[in-house]
Amino acid sequence: MKDALLHSRVAVLTGVGSGLGSGLATAFATAGARVALVARSSGVSDALADKIIAAGGEAIVLRGDISDDESVGRAVASTVEHFGGLDIAVQIAAHPRSSTPLELSAITDAEWATQGDVTLTGCFRLARAAYPALRANGRGRFIAITSAYGLSGDGGNPIYSAQKGALRGFAKSLAKEWGPDGITVNLFAPSSESEATTAYFERFRDAWEGFRKAIPLGRMGNPAIDIAPAVVALASDQFGFVTGQTIPIDGGFYTTL
Amino acid sequence: MTLHAQTRTAVIAATGCDLSWLADCLRASGWSLRLTGMPDLADVSTESGIDLIVHCHLPQSATPATTAAMSSEAWERIAMAPMRHTLATLRAAPTLLDGQGAVVGLGPAFALNGTAGLAAVAAAVEGQRTLVKATARQWLRGAIISNWIAVATEDLLPDLAGLPNLGRYAVGEPIRRRPGAEAVAALIDALAGMAGRALAGQTLIADGGDWMTP
């Protein structure tokens, strides 16, 4: 469908092994994008690609580790080689322990480095690798996931909050750096159902009750239904004049700005 | 909660920047100072009691650079190391303060809005600022108050003074009432006293009215 929002655009997405990543990849493909799915292991991503292709979309699976410079570079290069270019890069990958509560005093340098290497430096790696191809088409989109906790500084896991906040500083400056090349840089901050949030709230039931009441719409967002369409729009021409922003997609949870 | 109002001893922990301009003014306003370049404050004695810790950790070089040309080593040095230093300072703070007192972080204001060529520095600063918020939340249970002051970028990174778009766009010459060192010191003094008890994890933008909190 030529009138699809992302018709024939090429998108590379990291972290597609998560529920949100899977939902985004499916939504991008449904919107007409040709998608490269980057994941550390097969299985989920292979099944996801099969599903997209069965539905009439185009998808390839690339083994890639966001914590490895060369691996990220290869994933982007393979995407460009396979599809003939790159229009959209989406960083979703996050460290699996990002939802684990931590006292500040218990944070080791090693844990800080490990989580930061995925969540923050991983975003830098993807941006650096994707830039030449995004610049080439004059309408590039760079999108990364952050969190309301990167805005409000949640005390549960200070590493997570800090890295998500750091992403905001990175994205704002990157938007100004890449604006002359026609590339937009935006973040989205979802309140999304995920394996991690489900596990967290199953462990801390009181936290869920409190959190649920803080969301005007009274629930976490479904990745495919509530979150992905907004990110698709962000990647499309509809949001072509929006850059350097953090877009909360959270049912109204964070409204301080 | 009782702050150590009588002793008024402060630690200034700084890396990648020179805070001597601020130290002079804090001394003039009655603070006894310990200066350290060790992020974990390991060389600071607690014998006389510490009431305030001021921290500012920036990259050793904040020269503008494009993200595409940035090496992983440079990213580690510019974006990650300053955040790690702030983590070390905040981890050490409760022991040094003996459970009560004030912690004030300083960072350049440009990071609130972003500047081309400074993405890695901005990541470091915004990461530090958010870490201060997260820490302040954990410390709400106790008697340590942690806040952040965004100061005019030139005060912390003078080499960037001529960089275009470092501040807010204005027609003609920007009108700013840029605070001097005395004013910033007075703000820190206030955060370490009764006024600070009303705040936690806040960002005060002391840049002379350039950027204003949305």
Residue A75's pLDDT band, with cuts at 50, 70 and 90, is very high
CATH number at residue A65: 3.40.50.720
b/e per residue B47-75 (b: at least 16 CB within 10 A): eeebbbbbbbbbbeebebbebbebeeeeb
Cβ within 8 Å, pair A104-B119? no
Residue B2's pLDDT band, with cuts at 50, 70 and 90, is very low
Across the range B124-131, mean pLDDT stands at 98
Instruction: Evaluate whether residue B2 is within a structural domain.
Output: no
User: Which chain B residues in 38-97 lie under 8 Å from chain A, judged by CB atoms?
Assistant: 66-68, 70, 72, 75-76, 79-80, 83-84, 87-88, 90-91, 94
Residue B34's pLDDT band, with cuts at 50, 70 and 90, is very high
Place of tokens 């300072």: B89
Residues B178-212 pLDDT 10s: 889 999 999 999 999 999 999 999 999 999 888 88
Least Cα separation, residue B75 to chain A (angstroms): 8
Cβ within 8 Å, pair A173-B91? no
Q: Which amino acid is at B113?
A: N
Number of domains in chain B: 1
Q: Kindly tell me if the per-residue pLDDT of A1 is higher than 70.
A: no
Instruction: Evaluate whether residue A4 is within a structural domain.
Output: no
Instruction: Evaluate whether residue A1 is within a structural domain.
Output: no
Residue B48's pLDDT band, with cuts at 50, 70 and 90, is confident
Look up residue B201 and give its DSSP letter. Answer: S
Residue B214's pLDDT band, with cuts at 50, 70 and 90, is confident
Q: Quick one: which H or E segment has residue B24?
A: helix B20-28
A160 is catalytic: yes
Instruction: Evaluate whether residue B212 is within a structural domain.
Output: no
Instruction: Evaluate whether residue B213 is within a structural domain.
Output: no
Between residues B164 and A83, the one the model is more confident about? A83
User: Which chain B residues in 138-167 lie under 8 Å from chain A, judged by CB atoms?
Assistant: 138, 140, 165
Number of domains in chain A: 1
Phi-psi region of B201 (alpha: psi -120 to 50; beta: other; left: phi over 0): left
The whole-number pLDDT of residue B6 equals 61
Q: State what percent of residues in chain A have pLDDT above 90.
A: 81
Instruction: Evaluate whether residue B58 is within a structural domain.
Output: yes
Q: Kindly tell me if the per-residue pLDDT of A11 is higher than 60.
A: yes
Between residues A23 and A199, the one the model is more confident about? A23
Q: Kindly tell me if the per-residue pLDDT of B7 is higher than 70.
A: no
Cβ within 8 Å, pair A173-B117? yes
Q: State what percent of residues in chain B have pLDDT above 90.
A: 82
Instruction: Evaluate whether residue A2 is within a structural domain.
Output: no
b/e per residue B11-35 (b: at least 16 CB within 10 A): bbbbbbbebeebbebbeeeebebbe
Cβ within 8 Å, pair A120-B70? no
- What is the complex's ipTM, to 2 decimals? 0.94
DSSP string for residues in B126-189 = HHHHHHHHHHHHHHTTTEEEEEEEEE-HHHH-GGGTT-TTSS---SSS-------HHHHHHHHH
Separation of alpha carbons A174 and A46, rounded Å = 32
Size of interface A-B (CB pairs under 8 A): 148
Paired strand residues for A184: A141
Residue range of the domain that includes B193: 9-206
Strand ranges across the sheet with A141-145: A58-63, A34-39, A10-14, A88-91, A141-145, A184-190, A246-249
Chain A residues within 8 A of B59 when measuring between CB atoms: none
Q: Which of A128, A169, A177 is the closest to B126 by Cβ?
A: A169
Instruction: Evaluate whether residue B4 is within a structural domain.
Output: no
pTM of this prediction exceeds 0.90: yes
Across the range B78-102, mean pLDDT stands at 97
Instruction: Evaluate whether residue A68 is within a structural domain.
Output: yes
Look up residue B198 and give its DSSP letter. Answer: G
Instruction: Evaluate whether residue B147 is within a structural domain.
Output: yes
Instruction: Evaluate whether residue A5 is within a structural domain.
Output: no
Q: Which of B94, B123, B125 is the closest to A120 by Cβ?
A: B123
Across the range A182-203, mean pLDDT stands at 89
Instruction: Evaluate whether residue B3 is within a structural domain.
Output: no
Per the prediction, chain A carries an average pLDDT of 94
Look up residue A165 and give its DSSP letter. Answer: H
The whole-number pLDDT of residue B44 equals 95
Partner A contacted by B129 (CB < 8 A): yes
Instruction: Evaluate whether residue A255 is within a structural domain.
Output: no
Across the range B163-173, mean pLDDT stands at 79
Q: Which of A105, A121, A166 is the closest to B130 by Cβ?
A: A166
Chain B residues within 8 A of A101 when measuring between CB atoms: none
Highest mean pLDDT among A43-52, A58-67, A97-106: A58-67
The whole-number pLDDT of residue B5 equals 47
Residue A43's pLDDT band, with cuts at 50, 70 and 90, is confident
Separation of alpha carbons A161 and A76, rounded Å = 28
Of A131, A149, A160, A200, the active-site residue reads A160
Per the prediction, chain B carries an average pLDDT of 93
Separation of alpha carbons A208 and A202, rounded Å = 8
Chain A residues within 8 A of B73 when measuring between CB atoms: none
Q: Kindly tell me if the per-residue pLDDT of A87 is higher than 70.
A: yes
CA distances from A162 to A202, A222, B48 (A): 24, 25, 32
The whole-number pLDDT of residue A41 equals 81
Instruction: Evaluate whether residue A112 is within a structural domain.
Output: yes
The whole-number pLDDT of residue A44 equals 80
Least Cα separation, residue A2 to chain B (angstroms): 33
User: Which chain A residues in 73-132 lie under 8 Å from chain B, judged by CB atoms?
Assistant: 103-105, 107, 109, 112-113, 116, 120-121, 124-125, 127-128, 131-132
Cβ within 8 Å, pair A161-B80? no
The whole-number pLDDT of residue B1 equals 46
CATH number at residue B94: 3.40.50.720
Chain B residues within 8 A of A255 when measuring between CB atoms: none
Q: Which of B133, B157, B160, B212 has the highest number of chain A CBs within 10 A, making it the mutation to test binding with A?
A: B133
Cβ within 8 Å, pair A162-B122? no
Between residues A137 and A121, the one the model is more confident about? A121
Residue B2 tokens, joined: 């009782």
Across the range A31-52, mean pLDDT stands at 92
Instruction: Evaluate whether residue B214 is within a structural domain.
Output: no
Q: Which of B67, B111, B134 is the closest to A174 by Cβ?
A: B67
Are the CB atoms for A139 and A181 separated by under 8 Å? no
Residue range of the domain that includes A212: 10-248
The whole-number pLDDT of residue B154 equals 92
Residue A176's pLDDT band, with cuts at 50, 70 and 90, is very high
